[in-house]
Structure 1
Amino acid sequence: MDDLLEVVESLALVDPKCIGPVQKVDDRRWIIGGEDIFPVQIELLEGDHGVLLYGTGIRATGEPVYAPIMITLFIEGLRGHSLGSYGICPGPVTITLYQKIIWDASYGLDRLVAEISCHRLLTECFLEGAAEEGHDLQLSLKDMHGDQPILPHRH
């Protein structure tokens, strides 16, 4: 099995035309993408047993947000919603789509690159739809502060 940290750090060797430039922003977080390609972020999970892959964008415009996922959640007072290894954190200003990847023997650099490419496409499509329909998507304050998860409501 490939060492998780080695595989993530070897993303910098992948052709930037494929996944975009790779920038290590701290010991456990990288930004993959930039001005020409929507950035997704990858963070090592505690214990190095997996990674969290996510993309965050501004609802109204689809512009990327480069802050770590936890900072975005704290600023907007959000909770995430998970469907297995995938999840969404819809906020009043931003939307984050994330994927938890548990590392096992089947993962290597090629599979991680494929996961990054697919997650970027999913995030871009979702943000494009949210930006186009932004006037219809409103967060219910009741859901935001009640016992129910935060869900966008169409009015």
Structure 2
Amino acid sequence: MANVENLTLEIETIDERKVNIGETAALLLVACAIGTMANYVATGVGALEAFPGMAILFLCSVAGLIMARFVPLALPSVAWVSLFAIVITIPGVPGSAWVVEQAGKINFLSLATPALAYGGLALSAKEFAIARKSGWKIVIVAICVMLGTYLGSVVIADLTLRVFS
């Protein structure tokens, strides 16, 4: 039987001020390409039509990375990205109507699906070691948790749809 001390998972923290912006921007381009394909599959909106909206998302993301790296205010990059996106879509800001129109051509759920799938599949060697040490009982617990979460979500969604439709 494995000791509890051996099952700890160390979490590495990354200082956003040391992130390589060029490398991260290249990875964001790959994510944009995958997102464009997912958007086409989900909505039928072609790559050329979705390009301006995807470019806006990319530029907001890179701008947020740059701000997190160089501005002395200690905000995470996701906060900077959100701030940029909010500011450029405020009614009255020049060009905001165009930005909203272009972003409207992108189905954000289709962008999240590949990212969440990758996040679910990205397991480290430490996580595999923990699973091997935990044994077969952890599989039963995991299945019960996932089934309970799914069924709970179904019940809540069903009740919500019955009440509000």
Q: TM-score category by the smaller chain?
A: under 0.3
How does the TM-score come out when normalised to structure 2?
Answer: 0.23
How does the TM-score come out when normalised to structure 1?
Answer: 0.24
Larger RCO, structures 1/2 (Cα 8 Å, 6+ apart) = 2
Find the structure with the greater CA-based Rg: 2
